Structure 1
Amino acid sequence: MRPMAQIAMVMNLDKCIGCHTCSVSCKEAWTDRQGMEHVWFNNVETRPGQGYPRRYEDQERWRGGWRLNRRGALKPTAGGRLRKLAGIFSPPELPATEDYEEPWTYDHTNRAGAPAHGDLDPVAERARRQASDKVRNEFEQTFMFYLPRICEHCLNPSCVASCPSGAMYKRAEDGVVLVDQDRCRGWRMCVTGCPYKKVYFNDRTGKAEKCTLCAPRIEAGLPTVCSETCVGRLRYLGVVLYDADKVTAAASVPREQDLYEAQLDVFLDPEDTRVRRACEAAGIPDDWLAAARRSPVHALISKYRVALPLHPEYRTMPMVWYIPPLSPVVEALTETGHDGEDARNLFGAIDALRIPLEYLAEMFTAGDVGPVRSALERLAAMRSHMRAVNLGEDPDPSVSAAVGMGVYEIEEMYRLLSVAEYADRYVIPTAAVGDARRLEESALTQGCSLDYEGGPGSGGDGPFGRGSGRKLLPLTPVEKFHILGERRTADHTADVEET
Structure 2
Amino acid sequence: MPRGQSTVGRVMAQVAMVMNLDKCIGCHTCSVTCKQTWTNRTGVEYAWFNNVETKPGIGYPRRYEDQEKWKGGWTLDRRGRLVLRSGGRVRRLLSLFSNPDLPVIEDYYEPVTYDYDNLVSAPAGPDLPVARPRSVLTGRPADITWGANWEDGLGGAPEHAGGDPNLSGEWAEKVRFEFEQTFLFHLPRLCEHCLNPACVSACPSGAMYKRVEDGIVLVDQDRCRGWRMCVTACPYKKVYVNHATGKAEKCTFCFPRIEAGRPTVCSETCVGRLRYLGLLLYDADRVGEAAATPDEQDLLDAQRGVFLDPRDPEVVAAARASGIPEDWLGAARRSPVYDLVARYRVALPLHPEYRTLPMVWYVPPLSPVLDAVSVAGGDQDDPDHVFAAVTRLRIPLEYLASLFTAGDTDVVGGVLMKLTALRSYMRAVSLGEAGDEAALGAVGLTGADARDLHRLLAVAKYADRYVVPAAHKEDAAALGAVESGCPVESAGGKVALGMPTLRRTPSEGSA
What TM-score results when the alignment is normalised by the length of structure 2? 0.84
Question: Cα gap change, 1:183/1:261 in structure 2, threshold over 3 Å: closer, same or farther?
Answer: same
For 1:124, what is the secondary structure of its paired residue? coil
Letter in 1 for 2:423: R
2:98 paired residue among 90, 101, 108? 90
1:62 equivalenced with 2:70 (yes/no): yes
1:165 paired residue among 205, 228, 232? 205
**Matches of 2:380 and 2:204, distance apart in 1:** 54
1:263 equivalenced with 2:299 (yes/no): no
**More moved, 238-247 vs 392-401:** 392-401
Shift of 1:333: 4.6
Report Cα offsets for 1:113-143 as digits up to 9, x if no partner: 3333221000112xxx142443333443211
Shift of 1:330: 4.1
1:456 equivalenced with 2:492 (yes/no): yes
| Aligned pairs for 1:440-451 within 5 A | 443=483
For 2:285, what is the secondary structure of its paired residue? helix
1:323 paired residue among 355, 363, 376? 363
Q: What is aligned with 2:341?
A: 301
Shift of 1:405: 1.1
Report Cα offsets for 1:425-482 as digits up to 9, x if no partner: 000010123543786677469x99x98xx9822xxxx7469xxxxxxxxxxxxxxxxx
Shift of 1:397: 1.1
Q: What is aligned with 1:429?
A: 469
The answer to whether the 8 A contact 2:347-2:363 is kept is yes
Q: What is aligned with 2:48?
A: 40
1:118 equivalenced with 2:161 (yes/no): yes
| Aligned pairs for 1:106-145 within 5 A | 112-125=155-168, 129-145=169-185
Shift of 1:370: 1.3
**Matches of 1:86 and 1:142, distance apart in 2:** 46
Shift of 1:331: 4.8
**Matches of 1:258 and 1:281, distance apart in 2:** 31
Letter in 2 for 1:402: A
Question: Cα gap change, 1:216/1:444 in structure 2, threshold over 3 Å: closer, same or farther?
Answer: closer
**Matches of 1:368 and 1:71, distance apart in 2:** 25
Letter in 1 for 2:76: L
Higher helix share: 1
For 2:340, what is the secondary structure of its paired residue? helix
For 1:412, what is the secondary structure of its paired residue? helix
Letter in 2 for 1:113: G
Letter in 2 for 1:65: G
Q: What is aligned with 1:26?
A: 34
Question: Cα gap change, 1:441/1:324 in structure 2, threshold over 3 Å: closer, same or farther?
Answer: closer
The answer to whether the 8 A contact 2:482-2:496 is kept is no
Letter in 2 for 1:289: L
Shift of 1:348: 1.7
* Percent identical residues: 62
Gap runs ≥5 in structure 2: 1-8, 113-132, 134-143, 498-511
Q: What is aligned with 1:376?
A: 416
Letter in 2 for 1:191: V
Question: Cα gap change, 1:226/1:441 in structure 2, threshold over 3 Å: closer, same or farther?
Answer: closer
Q: What is aligned with 1:213?
A: 253
The answer to whether the 8 A contact 2:367-2:395 is kept is no
1:273 equivalenced with 2:313 (yes/no): yes
1:198 equivalenced with 2:238 (yes/no): yes
For 2:318, what is the secondary structure of its paired residue? helix
Q: What is aligned with 1:473?
A: none
Shift of 1:341: 7.8
Q: What is aligned with 2:459?
A: 419
Shift of 1:412: 0.6
Shift of 1:338: 6.9
Report Cα offsets for 1:281-313 as digits up to 9, x if no partner: 111111111111000000000110100000000
The answer to whether the 8 A contact 1:92-1:188 is kept is no
- Aligned-pair Cα RMSD in Å: 2.5
For 2:258, what is the secondary structure of its paired residue? helix
**Matches of 1:362 and 1:204, distance apart in 2:** 37
For 2:330, what is the secondary structure of its paired residue? helix
1:385 equivalenced with 2:425 (yes/no): yes
1:7 equivalenced with 2:15 (yes/no): yes
Q: What is aligned with 1:175?
A: 215
**Matches of 1:48 and 1:330, distance apart in 2:** 23
**Matches of 1:165 and 1:437, distance apart in 2:** 23
Letter in 1 for 2:293: V
Question: Cα gap change, 1:391/1:172 in structure 2, threshold over 3 Å: closer, same or farther?
Answer: same
Shift of 1:332: 4.5
Report Cα offsets for 1:358-378 as digits up to 9, x if no partner: 110000000011110111011
Report Cα offsets for 1:30-67 as digits up to 9, x if no partner: 00010011000000000000011110000011000001
2:449 paired residue among 376, 394, 409? 409
Q: What is aligned with 1:495?
A: none
Q: What is aligned with 2:267?
A: 227
For 1:366, what is the secondary structure of its paired residue? coil
For 1:123, what is the secondary structure of its paired residue? coil
The answer to whether the 8 A contact 1:342-1:384 is kept is no
**Matches of 2:336 and 2:201, distance apart in 1:** 30
**Matches of 1:62 and 1:400, distance apart in 2:** 43
Question: Cα gap change, 1:101/1:334 in structure 2, threshold over 3 Å: closer, same or farther?
Answer: farther
**Matches of 2:268 and 2:346, distance apart in 1:** 23
Letter in 2 for 1:350: V
For 1:60, what is the secondary structure of its paired residue? helix
The answer to whether the 8 A contact 2:16-2:280 is kept is yes
Letter in 1 for 2:272: G
**Matches of 1:76 and 1:239, distance apart in 2:** 28
